[in-house]
Copies of this chain bind each other. A is one copy, B any other.
Amino acid sequence: MGISERKQRQLEQVRSAILAQSWQIVEDEGWDALSIRRIADAIEYSTPVVYKHFESKEAIRSAFSKEGYALLADRLHQAKKTHDRPTDQLMSLSNAYWTFAEEHPKYYQIMYGLGIPTCDMVRETREIMQVSTVFHQTIEAAIKESKQPDADVHLKAMTFWSILHGLVAMTMVSPGDPKTAKLILEDAVAGFIKALAS
């Protein structure tokens, strides 16, 4: 009796309208400009309708955070494919990471925005894991090929990730020349890879 299917579809439509309009607001005016009332205005519904789909504003932010991690994971996977040697893959990963942050700063901002209650991040864990796994696997392979195969994978993976994030975050709070920023990134990653391989 396809009637409830249609309802389901309409619900989905509203939900994705919320996300679409929210994203427009964020891209145009930044995260601070995003409010439930503005979303409601944009989708031409009243405010409580938004709460039918997202239990809070934080839930909307969380949804975008998940989206961001998924997108980043995808970019990383693609970047990894372009090379076979693990050390080259690491270089490629760092490039993709940087490019992602540069192209989607709004995503990066919620993904790593400080002040997020850590418990709320549980729902995003799946997507974060996808990113984490790419790093772990590549690092693991790199370690196996290196001259010190007993190095701690988790430790090295976190170090790698931290270096990447550190640079992205630094250039976001005090943006200088993007080219020098990328130079710094390459320098840091090269140093890391060298320390890993030798």
A residues neighboring B (CB under 8 Å)? 30-32, 109, 112-116, 118, 121, 128, 154-156, 158-159, 161-167, 169-170, 172-175, 180, 183-184, 187-188, 190-192, 194-196
The answer to whether A169 touches B166 (Cβ under 8 A) is yes
The answer to whether A114 touches B163 (Cβ under 8 A) is no
Tell me the smallest distance from the CB of A99 to a CB of chain B, in Å.
17
Chain B residues lying within 8 Å of A128, measured Cβ to Cβ, are 174
For the complex, what is the distance from the CA of A187 to the CA of B156, rounded to whole Å? Answer: 8
The answer to whether B175 touches A155 (Cβ under 8 A) is no
The answer to whether B162 touches A114 (Cβ under 8 A) is no
The answer to whether B155 touches A180 (Cβ under 8 A) is yes
Which B-chain residue is minimally distant from A192 (CB atoms)? B191
Chain B residues lying within 8 Å of A183, measured Cβ to Cβ, are 155
The answer to whether A162 touches B170 (Cβ under 8 A) is yes
With A191-B191, A192-B191 already in contact, the answer to whether A116 and B173 are too (CB < 8 A) is yes
